[in-house]
Structure 1
Amino acid sequence: MRFPAFAGFLLAALPAVGAAQPSAVLNVYTHPSFAAEWGPGPAVKQAFEDQCDCIVNYTVLESGGDILQRLRLEGEGTGADVVLGLDTGTMETARQTGLLGQHERNLDNLNLPIEWTDEVFVPYDWGYFAFVYDTEQLPEPPTSFEALLNAPDDLKIIIQDPRTSTPGLGLLLWMHSVYGDQAGAKWRQLEDHILATTQSWSDGYYSLFMNGEAPMILSYSTSPAYHMAIDKTDRYQAVAFEEGHYLQVEVAALVKTSDKPELARRFLDFMLTPAFQQHIPLKNVMYPAIDLGDNLPPVFERLITPEKVLYMDPAEVAAKRRSLVDEWLNALTR
């Protein structure tokens, strides 16, 4: 999740002249929405540095796909100790690089909609893909894929490109989970409703949706939490689809060649503590990976709760991803 659009990024600050030098630097490859000044990264960095006698250095790459590509290019010579910002749509491909090590952590305190037993990836947040709508433009939105597909042609939506955007890929997986082999035909039916397919979530959300270009956009069920808590408006809401919603889990992992594996594992442990997780709901605008109890912002009680959770095993995603992208391209270019 990425709020707001135009904030700058915060990388690790150099220690002040004359200050005692920490004993180690933990290099974390991540993406802008985590490391930006409005994201959870700065507070997480400070909280971990207060207990680790180390410096946390963020190397900020454009997306989870770029993190994976950078790791591949650098190979065993990478300077990364931890990668943070992959998800269930990319983690199997990352695993296949052979560059990630087992976390060796106890994950008993996870609070996810699915059981998690993965030995490489540690979740740090999760959410559902959903269509967010402008209640002033569209008081009665379609409440299912079928209703959207059969809506009048003047109902327009904004989506993202699955080749460059995590939500865009999420919509492919969502459509495939609902329609299976019929997804290509459904994409052709949806085409008349697509106003724009943007390269990134922020391009569509801020440049188009928030400027009133279309009343619906592919986003997350948690997006309204930011608007309600920070913008103090109920105008933008997510619609619950009858077919269910596709689950995304964001993850981090230890880089096998790290020369600071114990420090990296300490950071993975830290990720699943309230000191880290308390910054997820309104800074990453996702659900925390552990139960925060009364510390979960009250607006999260007002979000939609899908009746059906849709999810594909990451290995299946990796096996089908190329064919699903090809199916989408063929459907929308006929």
Structure 2
Amino acid sequence: MKHLLFAAGILSATSAIAADKPELTVYTYDSFVSDWGPGPQVEQAFEATCGCDLNLVGVEDGAALLSRIRLEGENSDADIVLGLDTNLIAAAMETGLFAPHSISADYTLPIEWTDTTFLPYDWGYFAFVHNAETTVPSNFRDLAESDTKILIQDPRSSTPGLGLLMWVKAAYGDETPAIWEGLSDNIVTVTKGWSEAYGLFLEGEADMVLSYTTSPAYHLIAEEDASKAAALFDEGHYMQIEVAAKLKSTDQNALADQFLNFMVSDAFQSIIPTTNWMYPAVTPASGLPDGFDTLIAPEKSLYLPADEAAGAREEALSEWLGALSQ
């Protein structure tokens, strides 16, 4: 009996210590928290320094994050949202739910970063990925006139899906509706998120899938497979910068700031290239992994600042819906 009492005492003490650990909840997208994504390594590295429990919650794809935060409002369990991008920043700010920060970093982004609420953690260019031995179109006009079958994501739930709309809009302006009308019969299906679309592509369901110029690096580095390539488009490629921010409603303000500081540190940034398969926002001391030097380099970068993207978003979505409903 004494042994049982002693064991129970140990268990009780251990539970009390665990209960005293603060918890930081981060909403992010599903692929971030997957076994092959950054989440497991980020959790291990941060918990080694914070004396806390890091709770990473996957919420479908990036655009779905904003919808969830809007729905939950000030009652959200989240302390931080990680996985929005520059196309959603203005809409996120309109909620009034996000708090400013005072964190700085030596960013290696293609643009100057001045936002004082949202911090970037990675970036990349959207592109259509295909089998390397396949000849594919090199611009949207040729794609629309071809029999090439593509997989894309829904812009209402997915940041790549929204990025595609902004890509076409930035490249073609007033001609955008005609481009989408031409592309409508190339689309095999529209998925809710990136993971589903990419999985269907790997199963051979289409010739190309909307992804990133960095996606072939995964196959090359992780699988030693050089059979995938990203199509270089004449119009240029639209740039995505992914961001994180803390919520005003957090009861872990200091811990949230600690995580955001960690996010732009070498410890976090060195994880990004070979787990999230994007360019880090702050180039780690070790540089980029071998294989990233083989990726295509767009000759023209397309990008709309957050305020301009907000104005173009609804028009681009309306044009896309109109073309696909015909």
TM-score where L is the length of structure 2? 0.90
CA deviation digits over 1:102-148, x for unaligned, max 9?
A: 011113x1111111100100011111100111123x1x222222332
Shift of 1:161: 2.1
Shift of 1:264: 0.7
Using the aligned pairs only, state the percent identity: 50
Question: How far apart, CA to CA, are the structure 2 residues paired with 1:249 and 1:233?
Answer: 27
- Within 5 Å, give how 1:1-334 maps onto structure 2: 17=14, 20-21=17-18, 23-107=21-105, 109-136=106-133, 138=134, 140-151=135-146, 154-207=147-200, 209-334=201-326
**SS of 1:283 mapped into structure 2:** coil
Shift of 1:278: 1.2
Aligned residue pairs, count: 314
Q: Which amino acid aligns with 1:122?
A: L
Q: Decide whether aligned partners of structure 1 residues 62 and 194 sit closer, same or farther in structure 2, where only a CA change above 3 A counts.
A: closer
Shift of 1:68: 1.8
Q: Decide whether aligned partners of structure 1 residues 134 and 176 sit closer, same or farther in structure 2, where only a CA change above 3 A counts.
A: same
**Contact residue 91 and residue 314 of structure 1 kept, 8 A:** yes
**SS of 1:128 mapped into structure 2:** strand
CA deviation digits over 1:196-245, x for unaligned, max 9?
A: 323322222212x1122322111111110101011111111001111110
Q: Which moved more, 1:80-89 or 1:60-69?
A: 60-69
**Contact residue 84 and residue 159 of structure 2 kept, 8 A:** no
Question: How far apart, CA to CA, are the structure 1 residues paired with 2:213 and 2:264?
Answer: 22
CA RMSD of aligned residues (A): 1.9
Q: What 5-or-longer segments of structure 2 have no aligned partner?
A: 1-12
Match of 2:3 in 1: none
Question: How far apart, CA to CA, are the structure 1 residues paired with 2:72 and 2:154?
Answer: 26
Q: Which amino acid aligns with 1:149?
A: A
Q: Which moved more, 1:192-201 or 1:23-32?
A: 192-201
- List 4+ stretches of structure 1 deviating above 3 A: 16-23
Larger radius of gyration: 2
Question: How far apart, CA to CA, are the structure 1 residues paired with 2:89 and 2:52?
Answer: 27
Q: Which amino acid aligns with 2:121?
A: Y
Q: Decide whether aligned partners of structure 1 residues 76 and 155 sit closer, same or farther in structure 2, where only a CA change above 3 A counts.
A: closer
Question: How far apart, CA to CA, are the structure 1 residues paired with 2:258 and 2:283?
Answer: 20
Question: How far apart, CA to CA, are the structure 1 residues paired with 2:180 and 2:99?
Answer: 38
Q: Decide whether aligned partners of structure 1 residues 73 and 149 sit closer, same or farther in structure 2, where only a CA change above 3 A counts.
A: closer
Question: How far apart, CA to CA, are the structure 2 residues paired with 1:65 and 1:252?
Answer: 13
Shift of 1:274: 1.3
Question: How far apart, CA to CA, are the structure 1 residues paired with 2:14 and 2:21?
Answer: 16
CA deviation digits over 1:42-88, x for unaligned, max 9?
A: 11111111111211112221222332222222222323221111111
Shift of 1:17: 4.1
CA deviation digits over 1:241-268, x for unaligned, max 9?
A: 1111001111100111212212111110
CA deviation digits over 1:147-181, x for unaligned, max 9?
A: 32333xx3222222222222111111000000001
**SS of 1:282 mapped into structure 2:** coil
Q: Decide whether aligned partners of structure 1 residues 69 and 158 sit closer, same or farther in structure 2, where only a CA change above 3 A counts.
A: closer
Q: What 5-or-longer segments of structure 1 have no aligned partner?
A: 1-15
Shift of 1:333: 2.2
Question: How far apart, CA to CA, are the structure 2 residues paired with 1:76 and 1:201?
Answer: 28
Question: How far apart, CA to CA, are the structure 2 residues paired with 1:298 and 1:196?
Answer: 34
Question: How far apart, CA to CA, are the structure 2 residues paired with 1:299 and 1:144?
Answer: 25
Question: How far apart, CA to CA, are the structure 2 residues paired with 1:133 and 1:99?
Answer: 40
**Contact residue 110 and residue 291 of structure 1 kept, 8 A:** yes
**Contact residue 107 and residue 281 of structure 2 kept, 8 A:** yes
**SS of 1:291 mapped into structure 2:** coil
**Contact residue 64 and residue 90 of structure 1 kept, 8 A:** no
**Contact residue 125 and residue 237 of structure 2 kept, 8 A:** yes
- More helix as a share of residues: 2
Q: Which amino acid aligns with 2:116?
A: E
Match of 2:7 in 1: none
**Contact residue 273 and residue 280 of structure 2 kept, 8 A:** yes
